[in-house]
Amino acid sequence: MLHKRLNHGLYGYEVPPIPRAARSPRRRVPYRKKADDDQMCAFDLLATVAGKLLEGEDNPGATELLSGVDKGAVGDNSVKKEKVVKDNPEKLIPYIEEKCSRNFFVSEIISQAPAANHNMKEVSHAQNDACSAFASVITTSDGSDIFGSSAKLVNDPNNNERRNFSKVDAEHYGSTISFSRLDVENKNCIKTEPAMTGKEPRSTRADTCCIEDLIVQDVKPHALGNADNSFKFPLKPSVLSEGSKKGVFRDQGPRGSFPTCRDNVKLVVRDGDENSFGCTAPRKFNKAFRPPARMGDKRIKRLLASRYWKAPPKMSNEDCFNIGLETKSVHHNKANCYKRQRSLRDYPIKKRRLYDHSFETNAYERVRNNEASFSPGKIYSENASGSVPIIHEANGVSTFAASQQKCFQSRDSHVKLKIKSFRVPELFFEIPETATVGSLKRTVMEAVTAVLGGGLRVGVLFQGKKIRDDNKTLVQTGIYDNNKNDALGFTLEPLCSQAPPTQCPEDHSFIPPRQLTRCPHTSVNQGNSDVSPELPSTNISNIIDSDHDSAPSPPEMSIDKCLSDSKALVAAPEMNVEPLSAISMRKSKRLDVGQRRIRRPFSVSEVEALVQAVEKLGTGRWRDVKMRAFDNAKHRTYVDLKDKWKTLVHTARISPQQRRGEPVPQELLDRVLAAHAFWSQQQAKQQLKQHSEAFLLF
DNA sequence: CTTAGGG
DNA sequence: CCCTAAG
């Protein structure tokens, strides 16, 4: 029985759903290369390819890419350019991600590059997947590659089941990049005993030649490239070598330089015309720069435990994945995330009701306590009677301007508070020079929306002190005193703490920089001049992508009980006074207990991303879809994505008049239907296959 | 934990 | 979005 493994990326419909049991486990490899190890690194992979791509003469696409890496190298000779690229993988990857308007590919690459202790079969898989992943990287969602060359889905004449992006029109589109394995020559090597450590379980040995071997082998070569432009991915030498061709495994020691390529994987660049990358199409800048993707999640655990990817005994997580802190913290987060999900589920409705009740009660009390509160786009102030909140619309844009003002008047026994604007401090992001003003606006908007949408609570600062006692009256606190109004300030505090308190201590040391913005802290602070901290240059997507799924905290939840964490500390250092307690709150257990998550309609761009991912991955791999397209959108679970797809299909089928909500472009809906049809059919086929196989067993 | 489906 | 059976 032959399972075709067609995940050569770059092609619209990529991987026929392989039954989960048959799917090969994947392993994450280091995002950053450790100086002292010679593991094949995703960076190398990417940088090598990118370097190659830049070798050609100047053209807009390459220049664009290069300028995202090192402007100094623009216009320089190709050698220099390539070097720049290779020397700056950290810059390159985010840039490519950004160019692709998505950020989910790097982890794919990372996850699939071969690592030191992989046996041949694993390496084959890894290469295969790495090719696929990189192909994805350079393929943008609109069907064009990163350089603006457009391509479309076509059937590969050499393989009916395989789909490639091919050049549509050489006159209008530039090169197409295709990856393929030279498996014909390497068929044997796949079966070769490749064990590195000798400790792999028997089942991982290639000579057992299981289904997975076949899967790997069954990929047809795709040697369409012109020789000059084709190059190969290097492999971890100690894992794969020339000897592999002959079925002999040979350890070559330390990793060779990149020009030393192996044969297993070949990158073919097919040039449609001289100016391969010359056709620079308008780019999307959905995502701002973001730090390197993090890997490390539950999957790591699983993979570590996997029989195929057993890590050497002494390897710790950090050793394995080379990303030490990040891995760990991410792991925590993810775990927490799921923990939360589960806990949400575990509680019966009754409790939820209880919760809801208390929420309302306290909200009311809170109102009566004359607290100013804040919700996205609106600022509620309060008349003393507490009966009817007065809502002042904060005009959108100016709300986020850097001005901070406050009116404070006293009339009779009432205190009137007016917040003219909230300042959103420490919202760092980068955006390419080539980005348009429009995209800048969008970027800011997304970030701000994300911040506000994440759920905020208000803190009150008076004379530099955080007033935590919600029950104190204004008179008691002195806020009533007009003369002191300068001392009154409000803070917006995110509600996105996640880790349970017990994990706090560990968390603190493992918070990766990018997470510092997870809880963007916004404040309007009159009395205290904000002290801007040294913030790592964070990007907006961090913020956008942050976990905002936390529904607003119940008002009664006292921040006093909440430990803060380091990310908050860094993110909101303007809280000089009592920073710990004021900035970040642990999500209360109560919140965990069960409140319906806030509804968050999918934006068109999200739908686009979803469609894109499903087109690629199919409808039965929601977790992968999630990781691919929504890895950073913590509030979108794979179940959400699945549900969204369900509704999308439904939406696509009903008449436009019956549709509600933000209209989804018909084009997208068409793609939904197409993909749905395709994958349904695919699934049917798969099942048929399985059935026949099962039958054959008897 | 994931998937698949009903609610 | 929620809930949950199944794997």
Q: How many angstroms is C1' of B3 away from CA of A347? A: 22
Select the more confidently predicted residue: A435 or A678. Answer: A678
Q: What angle do CA A588, A594, A598 make, to 5 degrees?
A: 95
Q: Which two tokens stand for residue A660?
A: 């509600």
Burial of A304 (0-12, 13-18, 19+ CB in 10 A): middle
Return the closest nucleotide (C1') to the Cα of A627.
Answer: B2
Q: Over range A471-493, report the average pLDDT.
A: 67
Return the closest nucleotide (C1') to the Cα of A621.
Answer: B3
Q: How many angstroms is C1' of C4 away from CA of A345? A: 10
pLDDT recorded at residue A62: 56
pLDDT recorded at residue A159: 37
pLDDT recorded at residue A469: 75
Is A339 near strand B, with its CB below 7 A from some atom of it? yes
Closest residue (CA to C1') to nucleotide C3 in the complex: A345
Return the closest nucleotide (C1') to the Cα of A337.
Answer: B1
Select the more confidently predicted residue: A251 or A113. Answer: A113
Q: What is the largest CA-CA distance in chain A?
A: 93
Q: How far apart are CA A164 and CA A179, in angstroms?
A: 9
Is A352 near strand B, with its CB below 7 A from some atom of it? no
Q: How many angstroms is C1' of C3 away from CA of A346? A: 10
Contact of A455 with A548, CB cutoff 8 Å? yes
> Which of A81-95, A105-119, A275-289, A305-319 shows the highest mean pLDDT?
A81-95
Is A624 near strand B, with its CB below 7 A from some atom of it? yes
Is A628 near strand B, with its CB below 7 A from some atom of it? no
Looking at the predicted structure, is the pLDDT value of residue A661 above 70?
A: yes
Looking at the predicted structure, is the pLDDT value of residue A581 above 70?
A: no
Looking at the predicted structure, is the pLDDT value of residue A318 above 60?
A: no
Q: How many angstroms is C1' of B3 away from CA of A620? A: 7
Return the closest nucleotide (C1') to the Cα of A346.
Answer: C3
Looking at the predicted structure, is the pLDDT value of residue A657 above 80?
A: yes
Question: Would you list the DSSP string of A522-547?
Answer: EEEESSSPP---------HHHHHHS-
pLDDT recorded at residue A271: 26
- pTM reported for the whole predicted model: 0.28
Is A682 near strand B, with its CB below 7 A from some atom of it? no
Is A640 near strand B, with its CB below 7 A from some atom of it? no
pLDDT recorded at residue A652: 92
Select the more confidently predicted residue: A647 or A435. Answer: A647
Q: How many angstroms is C1' of C3 away from CA of A596? A: 12
Is A341 near strand B, with its CB below 7 A from some atom of it? yes
Is A642 near strand B, with its CB below 7 A from some atom of it? yes
Nucleotides of B under 7 A from a protein CB: 1-7
Contact of A452 with A376, CB cutoff 8 Å? yes
pLDDT recorded at residue A422: 62
> What confidence tier does A394 reach under pLDDT thresholds 50, 70, 90?
very low
Is A606 near strand B, with its CB below 7 A from some atom of it? no
Burial of A647 (0-12, 13-18, 19+ CB in 10 A): middle
Closest residue (CA to C1') to nucleotide B3 in the complex: A620
DSSP secondary structure code for residue A158 in this structure: T
Return the closest nucleotide (C1') to the Cα of A646.
Answer: B5
DSSP secondary structure code for residue A402 in this structure: S
Q: How many angstroms is C1' of C3 away from CA of A341? A: 12
Q: How many angstroms is C1' of B6 away from CA of A289? A: 41
Return the closest nucleotide (C1') to the Cα of A551.
Answer: C1
Q: How many angstroms is C1' of C2 away from CA of A647? A: 15
Nucleotides of C under 7 A from a protein CB: 1-4
Contact of A630 with A548, CB cutoff 8 Å? no
Return the closest nucleotide (C1') to the Cα of A601.
Answer: C1
Residues 540-569 of A with CB within 7 A of strand B:
none
Q: How many angstroms is C1' of C1 away from CA of A168? A: 42
Contact of A180 with A8, CB cutoff 8 Å? yes
* Phi and psi torsions of A287, nearest 5°: -110, 140
pLDDT recorded at residue A262: 27
Q: How far apart are CA A20 and CA A614, in angstroms?
A: 17
Is A342 near strand B, with its CB below 7 A from some atom of it? yes
Q: Over range A191-200, report the average pLDDT.
A: 22
Q: How many angstroms is C1' of C2 away from CA of A450? A: 24
Q: How many angstroms is C1' of C5 away from CA of A601? A: 27
Is A298 near strand B, with its CB below 7 A from some atom of it? yes
Contact of A158 with A277, CB cutoff 8 Å? no
Is A301 near strand B, with its CB below 7 A from some atom of it? no
Contact of A376 with A458, CB cutoff 8 Å? no
Contact of A545 with A359, CB cutoff 8 Å? no
Closest residue (CA to C1') to nucleotide B4 in the complex: A620
Q: How far apart are CA A209 and CA A637, in angstroms?
A: 36
pLDDT recorded at residue A92: 64
pLDDT recorded at residue A488: 72
Nearest to A215 by CA among A98, A318, A129, A320: A129
pLDDT recorded at residue A410: 38
Is A650 near strand B, with its CB below 7 A from some atom of it? no
Is A638 near strand B, with its CB below 7 A from some atom of it? yes
Q: How many angstroms is C1' of B6 away from CA of A691? A: 27
Residue A441 CB neighbour total at 10 angstroms: 11
Return the closest nucleotide (C1') to the Cα of A342.
Answer: B1
Q: Over range A97-117, report the average pLDDT.
A: 42
Burial of A346 (0-12, 13-18, 19+ CB in 10 A): exposed
What are the C-alpha distances in Å from A138 to residues A22, A105, A150, A156?
Answer: 28, 9, 11, 19
Is A690 near strand B, with its CB below 7 A from some atom of it? no
Q: How far apart are CA A68 and CA A281, in angstroms?
A: 16
Looking at the predicted structure, is the pLDDT value of residue A591 above 60?
A: no
Residue A537 CB neighbour total at 10 angstroms: 10
Q: How many angstroms is C1' of B5 away from CA of A329? A: 34
Is A623 near strand B, with its CB below 7 A from some atom of it? yes
pLDDT recorded at residue A610: 92
**Residues having Cβ less than 7 A from any atom in strand C:** A 344-345, 349, 352, 594, 596-600, 635, 639-640, 643, 646-647
Q: How many angstroms is C1' of B6 away from CA of A674? A: 24
Q: pLDDT for A434-454, tens place per residue? A: 777 777 777 777 776 666 666
Return the closest nucleotide (C1') to the Cα of A334.
Answer: B1
Tell me what the pLDDT averaged over chain A comes to: 45
Cβ contacts of A79 within 8 Å, gap of 6 or more: none
Looking at the predicted structure, is the pLDDT value of residue A642 above 90?
A: yes
> At A301, which amino acid appears?
K
Looking at the predicted structure, is the pLDDT value of residue A641 above 90?
A: yes
Question: Would you list the DSSP string of A54-83?
Answer: TTSS--HHHHHHHHTT-GGGTTS-HHHHHH
Closest residue (CA to C1') to nucleotide C4 in the complex: A345
Is A32 near strand B, with its CB below 7 A from some atom of it? no
